[in-house]
A = this chain, B = another copy of it.
Amino acid sequence: MVIDLDRSGKIPLYRQISTHISGLIARELLLPGQRLPPSRELAGSLGVSRNTVVLAYDELEAAGLLTSRVGRGTSVCDRLPPGIASVSRPAAEPFPLEGLFGSRWTKPFPPLLALQEQVSAGREERESVNLASAAPDSSLFPLEEFRDSLVRALRCYGGDLLTCGSARGFAPLLAEIARMLARRNIICSSENLMIVNGSQQALSLLARLFVDPGDTVIMENLTYPGALQVFRSLQANCVGIPLDEEGLRVDILESVLRRSRAKLVYTIPAFQNPTGVNLSPERRRRLVELCRRHEAVIVEDDYARDLRFEGAASPPLKAWDRAQGIVYLGGFSETLFPGIRLSYILAPVRIIQRLLLLKETSDLYTNRILQGALLEFCRRGHLARHIKRKRAVHRRRSEAMARALRAHLPPAVAWRRPAGGVYQWLDLPASVDALDLLMKTRQRGVFFAPDRLFAVEAWERGGLRLDFGEVAEDKIVRGVEVISAAIQETIEAGGG
């Protein structure tokens, strides 16, 4: 018997042996009654101690797969437990599942992560330049400080973090977030807040609160694909409003609100994803006023407000929310790291109460261990310091990208450097298709996010998104060179 053992110590050797043997039995490569090599012999051939093999055989005996008799050694049991058989001999008639799925499955909705994976397939290669934001720059993660905060939180709160939580979240973290929001000119209490597993859960709960099939949801065209996926999965009628250099075209929004009954307006006012544009203060005020008048709830996704390169950020829409009709989403994936999976919803109590019920139905409550760690991380000032560092890094990277774009990009491509965030948008001329372009640059190891990932509606101009936040400056320059050359080639081929 040859077993390919992993000797890194991650999986005990005896466990690897027992797993291998149970696999052989399941696939009928070892048959009922068949003898196994004596433990001493197998140990010798594998280069492990005899005791390791004995442990493996013992485990398999306990699982009812092997039997050992004095003088006869160890063999596969004559009557195997039911599970083993099920794999080796599949049923003649498989279970007729398709008729059982719910009606929403008649209209399929596209996978999200899989799509992004596809865009950046091959990104593992060291030489590739991934500007498609599928691989965060882990060298920026504050690993030490986070581990320290985690250990402190467990010391400070102990079993309190391991026990059942409330759907709303860990109370001391909610209080800390309320203090954070006060510094953004939003005065609120814990009553208006809840913690969720990332902004995607916030959107999913909100969609399930408001959207019936066919309901109109207004979004920026282009927008965050996760939001699009959530609303489409509930068969919402998603309407896109174009953006210009000041952000969402509020004038067009007004005419849309006049002729259709929209329930929600989902917007990313700060460093919009994917265009990077920051909504102007004047339009912020008009947006709030318009939605108030037309009785549409604003969902303000403020994921990147802390990431302004310099100076103070514009006040959030929520700061003007006198009528209590705005839901505000904030989180820590962008500022800290994506794996933290913690965001919050700030909303009027009438909305929060229902969202809590949906949260409870969805997964009872968010784990408190990471909430405790995040709290310590904030209290010890790590978050503020980390954001400061990140802003500086992003600014440098954005500058490097802008220099490279100025140097290499054909003049037919329009772009503006954003004032913060992590995204640089390029407007392509009509003759260049972003997806075709990606097919070319991929071959040269450069990845970006093409317009159609973000399109709510048909998108007349071509465009692409570059994420400068996650890539070192030298790679940014190389990426821009490759993309610029590919655009130039496409334009020339079209012209010829």
Residues of A within 8 A of B (CB): 10-12, 15, 19, 22-23, 26, 59, 62-64, 81-87, 89-91, 93-105, 109, 111-113, 134-136, 138-139, 141, 143, 146-147, 150-151, 154, 156, 158-167, 172, 179, 182-188, 196-198, 200-201, 204, 208-212, 215, 226, 229-230, 233, 263, 292, 295, 297, 315-316, 318-325, 337-341, 348, 350-351, 354, 356-358, 360-370, 379
Contacts of A186 in B (CB 8 A): 83
Q: How far is the CA of A109 from the CA of B357 in the complex (A)?
A: 9
Contact (Cβ within 8 A) B233 A363:
no
Tell me which of B83, B158, B320, B341 contacts A367 (CB under 8 A): B341
Tell me which of B165, B230, B348 contacts A339 (CB under 8 A): B165
Contact (Cβ within 8 A) B97 A348:
yes
Contacts of A81 in B (CB 8 A): 185, 315, 319
Contact (Cβ within 8 A) A100 B187:
no
Contact (Cβ within 8 A) A360 B295:
no
The interface residues of chain A, by DSSP majority, are classed as helix
Residue of B nearest to A117 (CB): B166
Tell me which of B10, B11, B338 contacts A163 (CB under 8 A): B338
Contacts of A64 in B (CB 8 A): 185
Give 8 nearest A-B pairs by CB, closest first: A138-B159, A83-B185, A95-B325, A83-B319, A201-B363, A162-B339, A81-B185, A341-B367
Contact (Cβ within 8 A) B146 A197:
no
Contact (Cβ within 8 A) B363 A97:
no
Contact (Cβ within 8 A) A86 B10:
no
Q: How far is the CA of A379 from the CA of B320 in the complex (A)?
A: 52
Knowing A95-B295, A369-B339, the reply to whether A364 touches B22 (Cβ < 8 A) is no
Contacts of A367 in B (CB 8 A): 197, 339-341, 367, 370
Contact (Cβ within 8 A) B134 A164:
yes
Q: How far is the CA of A87 from the CA of B187 in the complex (A)?
A: 7
Contacts of A154 in B (CB 8 A): 143, 146-147, 150
Q: Could you jot down 7 A-B contacts, CB within 8 Å? A: A90-B322, A98-B350, A141-B159, A197-B366, A233-B358, A340-B367, A341-B364
Contact (Cβ within 8 A) A63 B182:
yes
Contacts of A348 in B (CB 8 A): 95, 97
Knowing A138-B159, A162-B141, the reply to whether A200 touches B368 (Cβ < 8 A) is no
Knowing A185-B81, A187-B87, A379-B11, the reply to whether A361 touches B100 (Cβ < 8 A) is no
Contact (Cβ within 8 A) A363 B210:
no
Contacts of A162 in B (CB 8 A): 138, 141, 143, 146, 337-340
Contact (Cβ within 8 A) B361 A233:
yes
Contact (Cβ within 8 A) A84 B187:
yes
Q: How far is the CB of A272 from chain B (nearest CB, A)?
A: 20
Contact (Cβ within 8 A) B103 A361:
no
Contact (Cβ within 8 A) A369 B370:
yes
Q: How far is the CB of A88 from chain B (nearest CB, A)?
A: 8
Residue of B nearest to A81 (CB): B185
Contacts of A94 in B (CB 8 A): 323-324
Q: How far is the CB of A6 from chain B (nearest CB, A)?
A: 11
Contact (Cβ within 8 A) A368 B339:
yes
Q: How far is the CB of A385 from chain B (nearest CB, A)?
A: 14
Q: How far is the CA of A138 from the CA of B163 in the complex (A)?
A: 7
Q: How far is the CA of A152 from the CA of B321 in the complex (A)?
A: 46
Q: How far is the CA of A179 from the CA of B379 in the complex (A)?
A: 41
Contact (Cβ within 8 A) A354 B105:
yes
Contact (Cβ within 8 A) B82 A319:
yes
Q: How far is the CA of A369 from the CA of B111 in the complex (A)?
A: 24
Contacts of A358 in B (CB 8 A): 233
Contact (Cβ within 8 A) B198 A363:
yes
Contact (Cβ within 8 A) A322 B164:
no
Residue of B nearest to A325 (CB): B95
